[in-house]
Amino acid sequence: MTEDKMTDDGRLRLQVFMAKCGVGGRRFCEDLISQGRVMVNNRIVREMGLKVGDDDVVQVDGETIERSDKVYYIALNKPRGYVCTNYDPNEEKYARDLITIRDQNLLFNVGRLDKDSNGLIIFSNDGEFANKVMHPRNEIEKEYLVHLDRKPDVEDLRKAVKGLYIDMSQPYRIRSYAFVPMRRDYIKVVLTEGKNREIRKIFSFLGYEVKGLTRIRIGCIELGTLQPGEFRNLSRKEIDGLLAGKTTLVTRKKFGNAAKRQSGQRTRREDRT
């Protein structure tokens, strides 16, 4: 039996139960348990293997949690100035509060987007989904529109692709970049990792000021026309595409336009004969 399956009496491992209650991804839940922030039936629990069911009272930071049969997958255009954490005594604006649904309290952010950045972020109450999307081995792309104080030098961008050692033993790097036509101070950057404030640290290290940072894509999920503060449900096709590691849901026919041109040329030749 794998750890995410129920026993015959409907019980689950504690961290799996917490994920299904919308607390967060399984690894995040395991951290909460190890920190002594989880209680089961009024007793602090630090055991990962403990099995619980709907009859047990499970509390995280003193708040009782319950499992929900309904799962949510929501894309939000987070405005600048909002935080993605669900609780911080030093903050007042929470991104989750912008998602006005009845089960809002079950949602948690899948991945990070810092307070000074805006754009696409996904909220869900599906812990397994969150783990698959966030796990580094899946290398799901995140694309950003970066506004700099000046046009970046190509050699600097090549250094960023190769990797920069800034404040830790692991390098910060971007997967790819593309210049924005007609905007010398804008660039599109693709990442597959999720280090804290990675883009800002990279460009600051190279001597640039990041004046604006907008995430415009996660895998095959695009920000599109979603306005700041607006949210929408992901489609089943988008969810499956994201988990499959797709970067787009559009299937492009490689020779489609060429075939149409050839067909038009044949028709014109036939008309002349």
17-55 burial: b if 16+ Cβ within 10 Å, else e:
bbbbbbbbbbebbbebbeeeebbbeeeebeeeebbbeee
From 4, 114, 156, 185, active-site residue? 114
114 flagged as catalytic? yes
Quote the CA–CA distance of 5 and 20 in Å, as a whole number: 12
Quote the CA–CA distance of 67 and 22 in Å, as a whole number: 8
Give the other-Cβ count within 10 Å of 175's Cβ. Answer: 15
Q: What is the CA radius of gyration of the chain?
A: 23
Give the pair of three-digit tokens for residue 240: 């499956």
Give the other-Cβ count within 10 Å of 123's Cβ. Answer: 26
* For helices 26-34 and 127-134, angle between their N-to-C axes, nearest 10 degrees: 100
Q: Which of 7, 3, 6 shows the shortest CA–CA distance to 30?
A: 3
Give the pair of three-digit tokens for residue 189: 């950057």
| Residues taking part in catalysis | 114
